[in-house]
Structure 1
Amino acid sequence: MHQLIAAPFLDEGHLVLRPGSEQGLRIPAGHYEELRDLSARNAAVPDWLSSAAEAGWSLSLAGLPLNEAVNVRRPGLLGYGRATWELNLGCNYDCEHCYLGLKLFEGMDWDQRVQMLHVLRDTGVVWLQMTGGEPLVDRLFMESYRYAWDLGMMISLSTNASRLWRPEVLELLRERPAYRITISVYGATAASYDALVRRRGAFDKFHRGITAAAEAGLRMNFNLLATTTNDTEVDGMRTLAEGLGVPYHVFSNMAPTIQGDANPLAVQSIPLIAKRKPFQGCNAGHTFFHVDPHGKASVCKIGREPNIDLLAEGVEGLRRLGGIADGLLTRQGGCTGCTVQGTCGTCMPLVQLYRKAKSPMERYCQYRETGEVIINGTDSDAPASADAGTRHDLATARTVC
């Protein structure tokens, strides 16, 4: 089982990464090619890498066979470095704000998952976010996580933590550390938490999960979700995160479901609507993409149409995704008559979902509320939506010359 991953990554050159760590090494192309050659010959870890591993991670690799210590990834066939994968849309919660709408326990069988993960590896994906629904309730979660990790992917896991306390899950995550475990937090007390997720006893399971993860030394991030049900407990959720020393972000802007239903908008806490940064485009469909439970790749988790069937088309099918993204993400005339669309805070595909849900414009057009937007006609049509997708971060990227 590897300790490090060596891989090309987008325009950042060549990286050496350690699963479970934010620290990384940026190495010259020559060093990467040397690692590929040594891997092919099943030679030992070179001195420069063993020294860097000792300095960066207190990791002793001197004299070890390279193939035991390092997963040397081949260059990707396309320019993708990141992906998100919904294992299924099923969940053990029924959150009032959920953007998924119908939460169906459907997905690929094992052989199809293996095929899809090989496509992700071959296209160059290094960072993989595993999500759902709730991924830990997926019947093949353990096998899927282990297989993706063994292929040399840095895995981020998004979960509600309700099953994070289970011994087999903790053992898997200690043995094969995630790059990051992002946990959604729905309240600071059992009353509000259980009410929001509409499951009695959910808070106790969540608290048991985060306590077990903290005791196991797993790296967590919290997403604090605020709706009308729990908006008085934002400070309490912050206190919970800070007490565990866990970084957090507050998320308060609700969106329609991926089918365009307006139900989540009904629980929007109006005082907590956050001002969006101006949308200046994103790399959806160009450097990252999303995969649904059936192996359909799209530009992101909201902009699901058109999509590409990875099981039928493989890596070659993804060559069309950039063109799909360009069609989805352009303003296409924007909102008719709007004079400030160049600094709009919402991508056009997401706007389409708000329109389909017949949302008040102030929920997504934040110029409307200040009177800065001029509308001379009706909103123009736009295609289905996209979001900014997942990110990767290297807290420290040291260069090894």
Structure 2
Amino acid sequence: MHSLIASPFLDQHVLVRPGSRGGALLPAERYEELCVLDLAEPAPAWLADAAREQWGDLEVTGRPAGHFLLVRQPSTWGYGKASWEVNLGCNYKCKHCYLGLKVNSGMPWEDKRQCLDIMAEAGVLFLQVTGGEPTIDRDFMRAYRHAWHLGMMITVSTNGSLLWRQNLLDLFRECPPYRVTVSMYGASKASYDELTQRVGAWDQFVQGMSAARHARLPLRMSIVVTDDNGHEEQAMVDLCKSWGVEFEVFTNMTPTIYGGGEVLTAQSKEHLRLRKTFTGCNAGYTFFHMDPHGLVSICKIGRDDQISLPHEGIQGLARLGAIADRLMLRTGGCSGCSVAGACRVCRPLAKHYQEAKAPLAAYCQHGEKAG
């Protein structure tokens, strides 16, 4: 069981610790030294010093390196991050969910394991496991454990409803996550159950959060503000502060991944906020997304021209860059736009809004000016 990971990450080399947000950069020569290290030998003095300096409670002096260190090998693919919808099934039916239909389906275990192996080979160090609700998937625990043993720093995105389960808490204690991101849908039973369309959802959330905080999981809250709970925005913020957990507030609803606009009715118009100007991203180049069936796309939004990882293997990733370039082109209703350089959404997201026939004010500067 490793408590430290030395790994390439994009154009650098890093030393990270599962369950910790901290880390350290490694000079190339130090990383190369670890790559040829006899893991039966004690850790180099400089590594013990670095671990002690970064994590005061971690003492590795004199210990065989193989007892605590995992050294990840270089990858020629250059990917550092990925996200994976392990399943679209969910125990909630949230009005705002961008995934649309909650279909409880996915790959058999062997394909899941193969895809995780390919991700590791591609260089993925940071993996977000999401859904649907990932913790309800029958293979979640062994998939999580396999990714962890491959040396991935895992973020679990969850609604928190099952975090009270002892098997999950035991898993996270044995194999610490990088982060557990919990979506928050209200500050009272009435608003929470209404938005999730599940009686008793609030009670499950409270139970899960109590257990997660007691277990000292590395929590981060995603406060989702909608028409149902907009009046409780400050109460949700105050609750997160009282728990001592970091949080981020999300107010803008997006269409479903199928271009459906039905979820936009959950938008609180009073809370619709201007997004920051979109300045580009490395989708398809340094990170990618995989759906429950092993279909890889440049990100969660731009899902056109997906690549089947189980069928094509790692070589299929070679096409992602060209797909990204094509999907980011200003086409359709955005062709020739005079203010495209200051647009606040990427082209794939704009396409979803256009397919959903959403009001321009939801995503376009022209709509803002008209309003």
Same fold, TM exceeding 0.5? yes
Note if 1:235 corresponds to 2:250.
no
Q: Which amino acid aligns with 2:214?
A: E
User: What pairs up with 1:2-401 in 2 under 5 angstroms?
Assistant: 2-11=2-11, 13-39=12-38, 42-57=40-55, 58-332=57-331, 335-336=334-335, 338-371=337-370
Report the more deviating stretch, 345-354 or 330-339: 330-339
CA distance in 2, matches of 1:319, 1:70: 31
Report the identity percentage.
Answer: 51
Report if aligned partners of 1:310, 1:317 keep a CA contact under 8 Å in 2.
Answer: yes
CA distance in 2, matches of 1:176, 1:362: 44
Report if aligned partners of 1:334, 1:341 keep a CA contact under 8 Å in 2.
Answer: no
Deviations along 1:311-366, one digit per CA (max 9) or x if unpaired, are 11111110110110010012248625532111000111111111111111111113
CA distance in 2, matches of 1:88, 1:185: 20
Shift of 1:44: 2.3
TM-score relative to the length of structure 2: 0.97
Shift of 1:22: 1.2
CA distance in 1, matches of 2:333, 2:116: 37
Deviations along 1:154-178, one digit per CA (max 9) or x if unpaired, are 0011000000011111111112111
Aligned residue for 1:174, secondary structure, equals helix
Q: Which amino acid aligns with 1:78?
A: W
Deviations along 1:103-127, one digit per CA (max 9) or x if unpaired, are 1111111111111111000000000
Deviations along 1:214-242, one digit per CA (max 9) or x if unpaired, are 11111111111111111100011001100
TM-align CA RMSD? 1.3
Report if aligned partners of 1:76, 1:125 keep a CA contact under 8 Å in 2.
Answer: no
CA distance in 1, matches of 2:76, 2:312: 14
Shift of 1:368: 2.3
Between 1 and 2, higher relative CO (CA 8 Å, sep ≥ 6) is seen in 1
Report if aligned partners of 1:80, 1:124 keep a CA contact under 8 Å in 2.
Answer: yes
Which runs of 5 or more structure 1 residues have no equivalent in the other structure?
A: 373-401
CA distance in 1, matches of 2:224, 2:174: 30
Q: Check 1:108–1:17 CA distance in 2 against 1; reply closer, same or farther (3 A cut).
A: same
Q: Check 1:260–1:334 CA distance in 2 against 1; reply closer, same or farther (3 A cut).
A: closer
Any runs of at least 4 consecutive aligned residues in structure 1 with deviations exceeding 3 A, and if so which? none
Deviations along 1:188-225, one digit per CA (max 9) or x if unpaired, are 00000000000000001101111111111111111111
CA distance in 2, matches of 1:220, 1:366: 35
CA distance in 2, matches of 1:369, 1:101: 27
Report the more deviating stretch, 106-115 or 79-88: 106-115
Q: Which amino acid aligns with 2:228?
A: T
Aligned residue for 1:38, secondary structure, equals coil
Q: Which residue in 2 is equivalent to 1:384?
A: none
Report if aligned partners of 2:359, 2:367 keep a CA contact under 8 Å in 1.
Answer: no
Aligned residue for 2:338, secondary structure, equals coil
Which runs of 5 or more structure 2 residues have no equivalent in the other structure?
A: none
Deviations along 1:12-61, one digit per CA (max 9) or x if unpaired, are x110000111111111111111101114x643211111121122112111
TM-score relative to the length of structure 1: 0.90
**How many pairs are equivalent?**
370
Shift of 1:371: 4.4
